[in-house]
Amino acid sequence: MTPRPRGTETPSEEAVRLESGSATARLHREAARYMVGGTSRIHYFYPPYPIYARSGSGCRLTDVEGVERLDFLNNMTSLIHGHADPHVNRAIVEQLERGTAYSEPSEPEVRLARLLVERVPSIERIRFANSGTEAVMLAIKLARAFTGRGSVAKFEGFYHGYYDYVQVSYSSGPGDWGTQQRPASVPSSGGLADSVAGDIVVLPFNDRQSVERLLGEHGRSLAALIVDPLSNRAGFPRPLDGFLDFLRRITAQLGIVLIFDEVISFRLGFGGAQAKYGGDPDLTTLGKIMGGGLPVGAVGGCAEIMALLDPSTGPPAVASGGTFSGNPLTMAAGLAAMERMTPAAFERLDLLGERLRQGANASLARAGMDAQLSGDGSLFRLLPTSKPVVSHRSLPFDPAAGALLAGLHRGLLEEGIIISRDGLGCLSTPMGEAEVDLFVGALDAAAGRMGRN
Ligand SMILES: Cc1ncc(COP(=O)(O)O)c(C=O)c1O
């Protein structure tokens, strides 16, 4: 630790963490020697280095410095009951004692499948996978095999994981995004197959006229239209009234498979976002909360399309495996987590989410900041704009907006609050009004400090 001159005030916990001799700094230097950028995940890095977790309990996370913070990120929204939930832990331990993985199917898999099929009317059959990315990949392959077509339509600014055929136009900006009526198909990563950009039709969200025209032009070559009912990456724009039902109608007319990516939005209620906003998709992809904190993904949907995966009557039309798909530990954890998410539990989180958005937006207004807390239900996102968010193009792309968000992220961390560096956050069931009010107080302090500087 750097020696401090006498008489200076005690350094903040954040200042200690940022010193070159801190446990975090040492761990990060070691991490960077063995892993690129010191990390396994693109989103987890923020300069100079992220906090390193030591343990979590309920809605609190303790870092390797011993500093405890309120965790409003919950492993990127996947932990609906927070950390080390006793019910989920018990289910994992009981399964652990019976074995961690089998080549054979097991009872927890059947029970979780039943729970999900019974909750979501559009899901008649389900297939488990290991991540949301895998689920999206499988859903698109099913759509191609079902329709005999190759192309995919997706919305501008929407993230669906890192399968080639969805890694397009989620990070496009004013320099390369084309017109609002005809957004350009821009690769969001290097290394995609050459054919990808040409095989993806990019649509503007909440713009019925443009969607109708673009689908009219490309419809007969499109296997699938994939949409996230509440897209985090696009700032959580809510679908305009009837927009998802319109997508349902037009895709049915054109013979396109409609996929709802509910990897995040399944948090919105007992039957997911589709029960709240409508749309009745052919296929739904799931992940995050339904794995109870362990790695998971799933695709579910109408029996006719899902039958393409059926190995019981001969080689299936679509081959999908996965050594760990339907893993009993994950299935047991997911079942324990989801069983406790009753309609009343979702409703409680929704009310807390409303309280948080109201309190945070009042706090940002008091500080005179051009920012807002968007979102729905237990999901929220801090955005460096106060304008209503309708689609990807409502978001600000100037460096000042980026600096504002980085400042708020850092300020909240100093106040003991964890959200993602791009503003994503969520609630967990161990939270109550007290934790929500602590968030608002922390935002008051962070925004107030930035206003003074
Ligand atoms: C909407 C959506 N779809 C798919 C994915 C990919 O899921 P995973 O990270 O489990 O691969 C994500 C991840 O955040 C997501 O938000």
From the number of C-beta atoms within 10 Å of its C-beta (0-12, 13-18, 19+), residue 79 rates as: buried
What contacts 308, CB < 8 A, 6 or more positions away? Answer: 142, 145, 146, 316, 317, 318
Contact indicator for 421, 407 with CB cutoff of 8 Å:
no
Query: What does DSSP assign to residue 85?
Result: -
Q: Considering all CA atoms of the chain, what is the largest pairwise distance in Å, rounded to the nearest integer?
A: 79
Predicted TM-score (pTM) of the model is 0.96
141, 154, 276, 288: which one is catalytic? 288
From 49, 52, 159, 170, active-site residue: 159
State the sign of the Cα–Cα–Cα–Cα dihedral 86, 91, 96, 97: positive
Q: Is 194 an active-site residue?
A: no
380 within ligand 1 shell (Cβ under 6 A): no
Alpha helices in 81-170 (DSSP H): 86-96, 107-119, 132-147
| Helices 433-452 and 343-366, axial angle in degrees (round to 10) | 20
Rounded to 5 degrees, φ, ψ at 60 are -115, 140
Buried-exposed string 282-299: b where 16+ CB fall within 10 A, e elsewhere: bbbbbbbbbbbbbbbbbb
Take residue 183 and report the two structure tokens written for it: 């957004």
157 Cβ closer than 6 Å to some ligand 1 atom: no
Q: Give the Cα separation of 426 and 79 in Å (integer).
A: 9
232 in ligand 1 pocket by Cβ < 6 Å? Answer: yes
Phi, psi of 280, deg, nearest 5: 45, 70
**CB 79 within 8 Å of CB 334:** no
Give the residue, out of 232, 263, 299, 325, with the most ligand 1 atoms within 8 A of its beta carbon, to mutate for a pocket test.
263
To the query of whether residue 154 is one of the catalytic residues in this protein, the response is no
Residue owning tokens 């809605």: 59
Check if 159 has its Cβ closer than 6 Å to any atom of ligand 1: yes
The yes-or-no answer on residue 159 being catalytic is: yes
Q: Which atom of ligand 1 is nearest to 133's Cα?
A: 11
Ligand 1: residue of 44, 77, 133, 324 to mutate (most ligand atoms within 8 A of CB) is 133
Kindly report the number of other CB atoms within 10 A of residue 335's CB atom.
25
Pocket test for ligand 1, best of 41, 164, 230, 264 (most atoms within 8 A of CB): 264
What is the per-residue pLDDT for 4?
46
Q: What is the C-alpha to C-alpha distance for residues 147 and 143, in angstroms, rounded to an integer?
A: 6
The helix (run of H) or strand (run of E) holding residue 78 is none
Ligand 1 centroid from CA 111, angstroms? 24
pLDDT in tens, the chain (453 residues): 344 445 456 778 888 898 989 999 999 999 999 999 888 888 778 888 999 999 999 999 999 999 999 999 999 999 999 999 999 999 999 999 999 999 999 999 999 999 999 999 999 999 999 999 999 999 999 999 999 999 999 999 999 999 999 999 999 999 999 999 999 999 999 999 988 988 999 999 999 999 999 999 999 999 999 999 999 999 999 999 999 999 999 999 999 999 999 999 999 999 999 999 999 999 999 999 999 999 999 999 999 999 999 999 999 999 998 999 999 999 999 999 999 999 999 999 999 999 999 999 999 999 999 999 999 999 999 999 999 999 999 999 999 999 999 999 999 999 999 999 999 999 999 999 999 999 999 999 999 888 766
Q: CA-CA distance, 287 to 91, in Å (whole number)?
A: 19
Pairing state of beta strands 379-383 and 424-426? Answer: antiparallel
Strand, helix or coil for residue 268: helix
User: Is 59 in contact with 431 (CB distance < 8 Å)?
Assistant: yes
Check residue 44 and give its pLDDT.
78
Q: What is the C-alpha separation between 426 and 377, in angstroms, rounded?
A: 9
pLDDT score recorded for residue 45: 83
